Amino acid sequence: MRILSASEAIGPAWERTREVLLEPFAGRRFLKLAAVATLAALGNSFSFSSSSHGGHAGQALHPAAAVALAAALALVGLIALIVTLILFYIGSRMQFVLFEVVATRTSTIGPLWSRYGRVAWRWVGMKLLFLLGAGVVSAVIAAPFLFLVLRHGGSQGSPLRAAMHLVPFVAVVIALVLLILAVYFLLLDFALPIIALEDASMGLAMRRLGSIIDEFPGEVFLYLVLKTVLAILLFIGAMAVLGISLLILLIPFALVAGFASILLRHAGLFGHLLLVIGGGVEFLLFAALAVCLYIAAIGYVQTFLQAYALYFLGGRYPLLGNLIEPPPPAPVAAPEPLPVLPPLPSDPAANEVW
C-alpha cells in the first residue's frame, strides 16, 4: 500500500466506510456495525463528575439525616463510577472490534469480541495511565496560573488584575486540552493497530508510534489538524441530519396521537385507559426509532474516522497496509524447459561396431 497524505486518505476512507456499512446493504447488518462504532465511542472518554448542592441546606439537617444523605450520595457516586468504568471497558474493547471490522470488512462480531478480550485490558490500562498522567501534569502546569487568578480575584483583590491573570490561565487550559486530545488521538489511531496486529506491549507500541512520528512529523501534524476539523464538521452534520429526521418522524406520531385523542376523549374511563396505553406504546416506538437513527448517524461518522486513520497509517505501517489492501499474488514462474536430447538413430544395429 502506498503512503497517502492526510488529504489523500479522505477519499479511500469514505469509500471504505460505504463498503463496510452499505455493501451489501441490509438494515440489520448496517445497524449492527453502526452500533459497534457507536459503542467504540464510549472508550474515547472517561469522565465522572459529581456535584453537591447541600452545602447550606446540610447545616439545617439533623446530624443523623446529614450522615444518611452523605451515605446515599456516596452510594450513588460509587454506582455511577462503576457503571462508567464498565462502559469505558466495553467501549475500549469495541475499539479493537471496530478496527478489524474496517480493516478486513468483516461483519461477524462475536469472534472479534472474544479475540480481543485479553489485549483490551492492556489497552484500558494504557489509557487510564495516560489520563492519570495527563491530569497530574495539567494540574502542575495550570496551578500557578489558577493561584494568581484566585489571589487577585478575592474580596480584597482587583478585578482588573484578576482578569489579566485569567487570560493566560484560560490559554494554558485550552493548550493543555488540545495537547491531551492530540496525544490521545495518536494512541487511538496509531498505537491501537500496533497492539492489535502484533499483540505488542505498551513499550513496543510506544516505540513504533515514536518512530512513525519521527519519520513523518509534518504529515502527522497535518493529519491531527485535518482529523479534528473533519470530526467536528461530520458530527455537526450528523446531529443536523438526526434532528431533521426526528422532526419528520414526529409528524406521523403526532397525527396518530391527535386523531386517537379526538376519538377517545369522550369514551369514558376505558377510552382514557386506551389513550394512556397507546401513548406509552407510541412513545416507546418513537424512542426506539430515535435510538436507531442516532446509532446510524454516529456509527457512520465513527466508522469513517476509523477508516481515515487506517488509510493514513497503512502506507507507513506495512503490516496494516497489507491487511487493508492485500498485495497481488506473486506471478507463478514458468517451468524450465527440458534439455534437448539428440535424436535416436533409426537403425541402432547399423551403428554397432564389431
- pTM (2 d.p.): 0.80
> Are 316 and 3 in contact, with CB atoms under 8 Å apart?
yes
Answer whether 273's CB lies under 8 Å from 321's CB: no
- What integer pLDDT is reported at residue 263 of this predicted model? 80
d(CA 7, CA 219): 10
Domain ranges of the chain: 10-46+63-128+217-325
Q: Which residues contact 318 (CB under 8 A, 6 or more apart)?
A: 1
Query: Could you tell me the sign of the dihedral formed by the alpha carbons of 312, 314, 315, 317, in that order?
Result: positive
Return d(Cα 258, Cα 236) in angstroms, integer: 32
> pLDDT at position 186, please?
92
User: Which residue, chain included where needed, has cell 489523500?
Assistant: 8
**pLDDT score, position 56:** 45
Q: What is the pLDDT of residue 241?
A: 94
Which of 51, 210, 187 lies closest to 128 in space, CA to CA?
A: 187
pLDDT at 242: 93
pLDDT along the chain (354 residues), means of 10: 92 94 90 93 62 45 74 88 90 94 91 91 90 88 77 58 71 87 91 91 89 93 94 94 93 86 75 82 92 94 95 92 82 68 59 50
